[in-house]
């Protein structure tokens, strides 16, 4: 592949969106198809929709814009470079159901609204072979009455070598 001009990025806003979409891998019946590999980067684009079992889909978790952070460091030897994405997410409030969900160690697909809202605006962590998972993190913070700390849970979500641009539709959990 020839090098392409990357000097003028069209989208370069910092931060990620305030909504993270999470789905259990076990509920996906058909994974979205990849783009036809004709342009640089197409092997990282999922253009089809993920199809779910009846009554299943992505669950929306709201997070704090100023705390949520996605990092995708390069890892491995020079001859076998890959990515190991990790995301910190702050879930405001004291919700036992969210905490219970986070400690189940389920295999996940996670969509992060990184470019805006709507179709084609997500980074996907995890895939059929390398799912995303919740990882140990800072846990719960009560915050302080006079401080800027909010009350809620800090979670980390990570996956091995599976980062994609998801351009399909998001099927919400009913």
The pTM of this model reads 0.81
Share of the chain above pLDDT 90, in %: 20
pLDDT tens across 6-63, in order? 566 566 666 777 788 899 999 999 999 988 888 888 888 999 999 999 999 998 887 7
Per-residue pLDDT for 118 more than 70? Answer: no
Tell the residue number behind the tokens 């702050």, with chain if given: 90
Per-residue pLDDT for 103 more than 80? Answer: no
- Average pLDDT value for the chain: 80
- Give the pairing of strands 163-166 and 74-75: unpaired
Per-residue pLDDT for 119 more than 60? Answer: no
DSSP 54: T
Cβ(124)–Cβ(165) below 8 Å: yes
Rounded to a whole number of angstroms, the distance between the first and last alpha carbons of the chain is: 43
Q: Where along the chain do its domains lie?
A: 19-166
Question: How far, in Å, are 92, 122, 127 from residue 164 at the CA level?
Answer: 27, 8, 9
Q: What is the pLDDT of residue 11?
A: 60
């Amino acid at each position: 592949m020839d090098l392409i001009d990357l000097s003028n990025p069209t989208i370069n806003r910092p931060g990620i969106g305030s909504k993270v979409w999470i789905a259990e891998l076990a509920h996906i019946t058909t994974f979205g198809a990849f783009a036809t590999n004709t342009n640089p980067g197409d092997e990282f684009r999922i253009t089809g929709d993920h199809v779910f079992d009846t009554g299943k889909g992505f669950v929306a978790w709201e997070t704090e814009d100023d705390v949520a952070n996605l990092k995708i460091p390069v890892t491995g030897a020079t001859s076998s470079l890959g990515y190991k994405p990790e995301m910190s997410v702050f879930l405001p409030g004291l919700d036992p159901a969210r905490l219970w969900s986070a400690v189940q160690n389920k295999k996940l697909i996670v969509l992060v609204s990184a470019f805006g809202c709507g179709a084609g605006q997500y980074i996907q962590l995890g895939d059929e072979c390398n799912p995303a998972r919740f990882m140990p993190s800072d846990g719960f913070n009560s915050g302080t009455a006079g401080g800027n700390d909010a009350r809620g849970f800090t979670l980390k979500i990570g996956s091995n070598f599976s980062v994609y641009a998801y351009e399909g539709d998001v099927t919400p959990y009913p």
